[in-house]
Amino acid sequence: MLIASLIFIVTLIFVIWQPRGLQIGTTAILGAIIALIFQVVNFDDVLAVTNIVWDATLAFIGIIILSMVLDEIGFFEWAALKMAKFSNGNGMLMFIYSILLGAFVSALFANDGAALILTPILLAKMRILKLNTKTIVAFLLAGGFISDSASLPFVFSNLTNIVTANYFSIGFVEYFLNMIVPFIVSVITSIVFLWLLLRKDIPKFVDITLLKEPKSVIKNMNLFYFSWIFLGVLLAGYFVGDAYDIPISIFALGGAIIFLIIATISKTVKPKHIIKEAPWQVVWFSIGLYIVVYGLKNAGLTDYLTIVLKDLSLRGDTIAVLGTGFIAAFLSAIMNNMPTVMIMDIALTDIPNQALAYANIVGCNLGPKMTPFGSLATLLWLHVLAKKGVKISFWQYSKFGLMITPPVLFIVLLAV
């Protein structure tokens, strides 16, 4: 257990620290190689991990590519401007609408898509509106939180969703029907608590006349209209594919490639730029870190968790769901939600209560918001903001996360 734990801790430190620009995927693969050298894992474990994460990773790449193409068209900037115009300059309404926009993007384009694409757009618009620093940070904190708390309704809304759904053979429709209520509860609860915490920094009035007209940012209006039809067909495809047990990545990555080809033919985007900028490091990060985590499983960590979770499962559904969700949440906050979801899934294997699998997802999606390094989405979000000149300190983020996450998590788990 000691060697496996040390390899994991050092790998995670370097993932968070990223010294001299060392990318997260490279670090994770190096950690996996070290785990192999010290025989913490073997090549059979590598194959087992790849079998678990391949669908989730390829689906994620597809969703991000699709999001990047839509961003090039002007889709998300149009949505942000439309949201601002709908508020009619009312600060409170703009705050609520921005959260709802974040929830929409997170649900359909994954939490990482919301963090990577929507965040810089919202930041740029807030600077045009000449909002003060405290107000900008308030909007950004709200957007960062909702990107994870709203990543519940679809299997593809979060990598943790895909991994768990595949691990327990939960179909797309079954997953949606079980998580639509927690999603709605999560969005409403998040809005309430975000408003209570940040209302002092939200202005009563915002001068929206400083913003462009939404239509002016669309590069190709025909492609923009077509994109709505395409998204509707793609979403329907996920439901149809569920009936035939088709991997979700077939639709996510296949749909992204088709839309990229269409956008290229219309001369709206440059495919080389999209492919080059796609987050390929996430592929290596997912496989590498999961291999490192599998070493913890081999060392017996999941056995200890199984004992605790089995005890919780005997104490009634409510206690079991709350207990499982909070264990997943605190582990995610401490050691990142990617390894946590895998460890928890393995620990839950022999417990005949599927509600605990959903509780694990909720815990792994919301729990990471308690620390800056709890999820890949938050790390990417902070990196994007730092590049744009907005620095949110470790303590500033943690104080906010620890205040809002536990009560929202508690209420959402009750809805599972």
- Give mean pLDDT in consecutive 10-residue pieces for the chain, a chain of 416 residues: 89 82 87 94 90 87 92 95 95 96 94 84 93 94 94 95 94 97 98 96 94 95 96 95 93 95 93 82 81 88 92 94 97 88 92 95 96 83 85 89 97 97
| 347: phi then psi, degrees, rounded to nearest 5 | -65, -25
Measured CA to CA in angstroms, residue 248 lies from 235, 261, 355 at distances of 11, 20, 22
pLDDT of residue 41: 93
d(C-alpha 289, C-alpha 221), whole Å: 42
pLDDT of residue 53: 85
pLDDT of residue 23: 85
- The residues near 29 (Cβ < 8 Å, ≥ 6 apart) are 284, 287, 288
Residue type, 256: A
d(C-alpha 90, C-alpha 379), whole Å: 31
pTM of the model: 0.92
pLDDT of residue 116: 79
| 205: phi then psi, degrees, rounded to nearest 5 | -135, 140
Residue type, 149: S
